[in-house]
């Protein structure tokens, strides 16, 4: 057990999927895993462990934003031995070619600041995904016929953004989408020598001011979860 995770030794699998929303973790575990068992509910952050095609998997909420994800990722890696961590979540598109319901596979994750900024100080470290996971996820998306985009994303440290000038520069420089967690996940994975990837469903479009209707979100998010699971065990 840790301060934030109440799982017993052996209850966390080496492969962990990390949705921000704990109730999305519950939905994903009940939908895609065989015999899921709840292993954490500390502070309402739900975690479940089950099996996917015979492979042990934990699906654990990470909360919103990089500071929250950093807590769970640190403890999952250091205290429970997680070796593969895949963020599954929603994002806002920042390019015309990216459509609602598309999937973004984040090769890199740019940011203004992360919890790791105090370590790097004036050094602009470029956190990136694990290549084997990225390649496997792209192949899984193609096999499923899902429209997927591979490239850079932007991990913001605020949700209610008041920097339209920064958004313009992100779009200008080819950033595919914006979310709030992946950059710190990639920092931690590289620091600890484990694998990480962010597989994201486009739920909103910053350029077109479109949003995915709530009734369609669950169906679209299912593609993302299956791609993440297939990539983890390719």
151 is in an annotated binding site: no
Residues paired with residue 58 on neighbouring β-strands, in sequence order: 16, 49
Catalytic, 102? Answer no
90 labelled as ligand-binding? yes
Cα(196)–Cα(166) distance, rounded to whole angstroms?
26
* Annotated catalytic residue, options 96, 102, 204, 223: 204
DSSP string covering 71-138, please? HHHHHHHHTT---EEEEEEEEEE-STT--TT-EEEEEEEEES--TTHHHHTT-----B--HHHHHHHH
181 labelled ligand-binding: yes
Say if residue 204 carries a ligand binding annotation: yes
Is 170 one of the annotated binding-site residues? no
Tell me if 180 is assigned to a ligand binding site: yes
- Report d(CA 179, CA 139) in Å as an integer: 23
The three-class DSSP label of residue 178 is: strand
Per the annotation, does 203 bind a ligand? yes
* 81 backbone φψ class: left, alpha, beta (φ>0; ψ -120 to 50): left
142 contacts: CB under 8 Å, gap ≥ 6: 148
> Is 179 assigned to a binding site?
yes
Instruction: Tell whether 207 is in a known binding site.
Output: no
Record the tokens describing residue 66, joined without a space. 């990089």
Q: Which residues are annotated as a binding site for phosphate?
A: 20, 24, 43, 87-90
Q: Which residues are annotated as a binding site for a purine D-ribonucleoside?
A: 4, 179-181, 203-204
Active site residues: 204
* Binding site feature residues: 4, 20, 24, 43, 87-90, 179-181, 203-204
């Amino acid at each position: 057990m840790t301060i934030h995770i109440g799982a017993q030794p052996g209850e966390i699998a080496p492969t962990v999927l990390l949705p921000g929303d704990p109730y999305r973790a519950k939905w994903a575990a009940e939908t895609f895993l065989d015999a899921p068992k709840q292993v954490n509910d500390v502070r309402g952050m739900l975690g479940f462990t089950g099996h996917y095609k015979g492979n042990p998997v934990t699906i654990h909420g990470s909360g919103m934003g990089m500071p929250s994800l950093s807590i769970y990722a640190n403890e999952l890696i250091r205290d429970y031995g997680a070796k593969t961590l895949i963020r599954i979540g929603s994002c806002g598109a920042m390019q015309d070619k990216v459509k609602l319901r598309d999937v973004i596979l984040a090769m890199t994750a740019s940011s203004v600041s992360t919890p790791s900024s105090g370590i790097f100080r004036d050094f602009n470290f470029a956190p990136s995904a694990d290549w084997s996971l990225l390649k496997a996820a792209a192949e899984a998306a193609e096999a499923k016929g899902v429209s997927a985009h591979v490239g850079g994303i932007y991990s913001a440290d605020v949700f209610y953004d008041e920097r339209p000038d920064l958004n313009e520069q992100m779009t200008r420089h080819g950033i595919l989408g914006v979310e709030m967690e992946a950059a710190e996940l990639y920092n931690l994975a590289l620091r600890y020598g484990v694998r990480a990837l962010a597989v994201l469903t486009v739920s909103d479009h910053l350029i077109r001011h479109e949003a995915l209707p709530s009734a369609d979100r669950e169906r679209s998010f299912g593609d993302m979860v299956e791609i993440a699971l297939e990539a983890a065990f390719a």
